[in-house]
Structure 1
Amino acid sequence: MIVACLISALVTTVVIILLSNIVTKKKPPRVDGHVDSGFEEVFREFRRCHEQNLDVGSAVAVYYKGKKVVDLWGGYADYEAEEPWQQNTMTMVFSATKGVAALCVAVAVDRGYLDYDQKVSHYWPDFAQNGKENITVRQVVCHEAGIPMTAEPLTFSMLEDQHALGETLASSKLLWEPGTKHGYHSVAYGLLLSQLIQRSDPKHRTIGEFFREEISKPYGIDFHIGLPKKEHYRVARILVPSPFTLTLHLLQMLTSSRSYKFAMAMFNPRTLTSKVLRSTNHIVSLPKMNSLKFRSLEIPSLNGIGTASGLAKLYGIVANSGTLGKTLLSEDTIELFTSKCTPVRMDQIIMLQTQWCLGLHPHFDTIPQLNLKGVYGHNGYGGQGTFFDKANNLSFAYVTTKLSAYGMGEDPRYVAMVTAIYSSIEKLKMND
């Protein structure tokens, strides 16, 4: 019965894809930017995505050996208005924001403000409620804390009041024994990290302020958690999927070996997955994400906004031993990302075998054919993704406004470009 249902869903998916290609009005493809010699394959894959209408607005960037070797952008910042995507166009990267938040914590640890093995209650006494007194910073950063949802549903007014938000987070109850399991803290994650930064930082800054003053401005990284009003004009408009497209996405998830369990859990009201998603329904709404209000809020789990070039540069600093002109992170702290990881086990929320390395996930199984050992980063809903590869002194970022069903690195566009990058590097090594 299950096999028959999956076959039926697959056939339906193929029919919908064919119909979608027929009815979608295609606009002339636009691709701009540059690639260094040896990375032409990346350009070809990026251009193919736009020529085949797989993308309507996107950008990809790569740093290799401390130098930007790929900086491409294409399509439209506003598809309906046919406003061209420019070099400085920014877009929301959804959960790829979590990787940036995790790197902020790493900087705070590197400077002695935080200790991964210290209890959260040491910095935040009110947090020691409802059995949470022994939760460590490491457990929060690695999605092991057992509090993937807040004590009460999140609202925009709550997000605008850091004190009230802190009280809500502190009063949240455990859903499993900390450290015994991990489960994706989809929205609570970044909010918890921001509260930790505020309570340990000598200046008591939010994570968005900390990132801007300690990382973004000093290193020229075009990325924001909480977008300033003066920057809204540069933000691409997310192409909100229609009910027709969302149905297609669901069918794609149901026929994917990586995501079908998550898709089934989403629609079972008795599952923890469903309960966590319902707790954030008020704020996690794609139409709302194009609003100035949503972009301006600090939601360090999902509404980071920036360029692919900015993200690739940030991860490029890590890939380059923590230094690009000046030092952001020490070698010792960077080493923790590869040596201090959770066991590989079933995630309680996304229903997938995962592993967390201080807030980043290793990519060893993201693209199986590449066997990406030593690659760490964070992907996001719709196809976004960014990572660093210290062994190859490489970093990568891809962002898009045409959202797909994929959020864990399996998006075909992402896979194609990452494959092209490693193919290019192998050829360069052979010619050295």
Structure 2
Amino acid sequence: MTQSATKSTPSTTSPTMPNLAPYPARGSYADGFEPVARTFARQLERGEEIGAGFTVYRKGECVVDLWGGLADVETQRPWERDTRVVLFSVTKGFVAMALHLLVSRGQLKWDAPVESYWPGFGRDGKEGMTVATLLGHRGGLAGLDTALTMEDVTDPSRAEILLGALESQKPAWEVGKEQGYHAITFGMYARELFERICPGEDLGEFLRRELLEPLGSDVYLGTPEAFDDGIATLYPPAKPARVVKMLTNAITQRASTEARVLQQFIRPGSVMRRAFLNPQIPGDDVTVYNQVPARRAVLGWASATGSAHGVARAYLPFAQKGKFEDTRYLKAHTLRPAYRRLGWSENDLVLQKPIGWSHGFCKEERHLFSPNPESFGHPGMGGALGWADPVEELTIGYAMNLMDWRVRSPRALALCRALYDAPALVEG
């Protein structure tokens, strides 16, 4: 930062806005955003959510702050404004933020070879690969040949195992010629790159000190014990039900993204399987990421926790040319590349859909989270979302505990559509 920021923590009460959320939602919203509040309340009422939060900032002001439902079904613990949950790949957006901070400070160049910062990277076909290629999911490193366990990636004493796997990995395709979502390895490579540039610096602590705490965001990458009691329980779709839904979708909607994903998943050795199935997860239980060992670890692909409000606040300077209130966090010109599609594929080898990235940030199809192509951020498995729109100066945070089985959650999409259809945006 070029100027010191006031460090604060968001309160557990909603900002003063004139309109109370409709039942059964809680919170409030500004004039002109009623469609968002009604959509959120309807999803709760219909049982489409167990517990969730949805927050929107516009031009630095909170205009939507909603939450409701249950953080835990068994105890009936309610979802509060500050309820946190593991955010899965929304984490990648925070890692991208850290790297953008380094670029703004002149410590990292996107077009530099990764090996110029991390000499051990430059071997086995990775020689000359640029930082932009690696972070754009075009390096052919979506999977690792070395079989890993969760202990290998969460236990610091096993760090050399992971490092060896990363450095010895050969690209699965000609570098830069194809795009395949590095669902897990993105965070592994990005974290190691960060630590090579900033020796002795913890990525999670860097994010807290330089960005999240000054912004009043409750997001943590490497969540302290003090927050354990406030973590919401994750509810992924039951495996038999998920399989039935995917098979039914594959039969009735053969051209859908989910149908193509299933076709790739059942193919032994496919890029898609390699991208998601290493490290091995006991029982294919994704809730392992919401358990203490994973939450404590700095897993740059999945382990960040936070509330919807905290996610929205983290993106504030990214929607306002690097500045929020009186503090400049990044030089404005360093964010311009994120506004463009630096990489794009009409059919990503892993996600089986049109998608792109710009230096670690996701660039989605215009009909999904935002109609503005300049917008960017990162969604997470199950539906969570962190997003910034520099055109409307919007930031969006969505967190929930009932995970969806589809590549993009219909609930998140409905909330985003309601936001852009709201009179406050439509009428200017």
Shorter chain as denominator, the TM-score bin is 0.7 to 0.9
When residues 253 and 178 of structure 1 are mapped into structure 2, their CA distance, relative to the original with a 3 A threshold, is: farther
Match of 1:417 in 2: 415
SS at match of 2:357: coil
Match of 2:353 in 1: 352
* 1:318 to 2:315 alignment: no
Match of 1:405 in 2: 405
Match of 1:268 in 2: 267
CA shift for structure 1 position 30: 4.3
Q: Which runs of 5+ in 1 are unaligned?
A: 1-28
Match of 1:119 in 2: 113
* 1:179 to 2:180 alignment: no
Report the residue type matching 1:206 in the other structure.
D
* 1:53 to 2:39 alignment: no
Question: Which residue, out of 169, 185, 200, partners 1:188?
Answer: 185
Normalized per residue, the structure richer in helix is 1
Report the residue type matching 1:116 in the other structure.
W
Matches within 5 A, 1:96-115: 96-115=90-109
> 2: CA distance between counterparts of 1:253 and 1:209?
42
SS at match of 1:382: coil
Match of 2:144 in 1: 150
* 1:230 to 2:215 alignment: no
Aligned partners of 1:364 and 1:375 also within 8 Å: no
CA shift for structure 1 position 244: 3.8
Matches within 5 A, 1:290-305: 290-305=290-305
CA shift for structure 1 position 166: 2.2
When residues 401 and 291 of structure 1 are mapped into structure 2, their CA distance, relative to the original with a 3 A threshold, is: same
When residues 286 and 428 of structure 1 are mapped into structure 2, their CA distance, relative to the original with a 3 A threshold, is: closer
When residues 58 and 252 of structure 1 are mapped into structure 2, their CA distance, relative to the original with a 3 A threshold, is: farther
CA shift for structure 1 position 366: 4.3
SS at match of 1:183: coil
RMSD: 2.0
Residue deviations 1:318-355, cap 9 Å, x none?
A: 11121113111221011011236114342122222222
Report the residue type matching 2:133 in the other structure.
Q
SS at match of 1:113: coil
> 1: CA distance between counterparts of 2:220 and 2:212?
8
When residues 337 and 307 of structure 1 are mapped into structure 2, their CA distance, relative to the original with a 3 A threshold, is: same
Count of matched residue positions in the alignment of Structure 1 and Structure 2: 398
When residues 252 and 116 of structure 1 are mapped into structure 2, their CA distance, relative to the original with a 3 A threshold, is: farther
* 1:220 to 2:219 alignment: no
Report the residue type matching 2:274 in the other structure.
K
Aligned partners of 2:257 and 2:407 also within 8 Å: no
CA shift for structure 1 position 232: 1.2
When residues 72 and 97 of structure 1 are mapped into structure 2, their CA distance, relative to the original with a 3 A threshold, is: same
> 1: CA distance between counterparts of 2:344 and 2:87?
27
Match of 2:333 in 1: 332
Match of 1:79 in 2: 73
Report the residue type matching 1:148 in the other structure.
A
Match of 1:3 in 2: none
CA shift for structure 1 position 312: 0.8
> 2: CA distance between counterparts of 1:192 and 1:307?
26
Question: Which residue, out of 128, 131, 143, partners 2:122?
Answer: 128
Residue deviations 1:218-270, cap 9 Å, x none?
A: 22211111111111111101013223432344246533623221121111114
Match of 1:37 in 2: 31
> 2: CA distance between counterparts of 1:213 and 1:91?
21
When residues 271 and 151 of structure 1 are mapped into structure 2, their CA distance, relative to the original with a 3 A threshold, is: closer
> 2: CA distance between counterparts of 1:42 and 1:148?
36
Question: Which residue, out of 208, 216, 219, partners 2:204?
Answer: 208
Report the residue type matching 1:292 in the other structure.
V
SS at match of 2:336: helix
When residues 168 and 279 of structure 1 are mapped into structure 2, their CA distance, relative to the original with a 3 A threshold, is: same
Match of 1:239 in 2: 235
Aligned partners of 1:361 and 1:378 also within 8 Å: yes
> 1: CA distance between counterparts of 2:233 and 2:367?
28
Residue deviations 1:15-37, cap 9 Å, x none?
A: xxxxxxxxxxxxxx842111112
SS at match of 2:57: strand
* 1:62 to 2:56 alignment: yes
Percent of aligned pairs with the same residue? 27
Aligned partners of 1:61 and 1:72 also within 8 Å: yes
When residues 154 and 30 of structure 1 are mapped into structure 2, their CA distance, relative to the original with a 3 A threshold, is: farther
Match of 1:15 in 2: none
Q: Which runs of 5+ in 2 are unaligned?
A: 1-22
> 1: CA distance between counterparts of 2:286 and 2:215?
31
Aligned partners of 1:142 and 1:342 also within 8 Å: yes
CA shift for structure 1 position 429: 5.5
Residue deviations 1:97-145, cap 9 Å, x none?
A: 1111112111111111211111111111111121212111111111111
Aligned partners of 2:372 and 2:391 also within 8 Å: no
Aligned partners of 1:148 and 1:183 also within 8 Å: yes
Residue deviations 1:25-80, cap 9 Å, x none?
A: xxxx8421111122122111110001000000111000001111111111111122
Aligned partners of 2:257 and 2:353 also within 8 Å: yes
CA shift for structure 1 position 96: 1.5
Residue deviations 1:191-220, cap 9 Å, x none?
A: 11110110112x532322221221122222
Report the residue type matching 1:165 in the other structure.
L
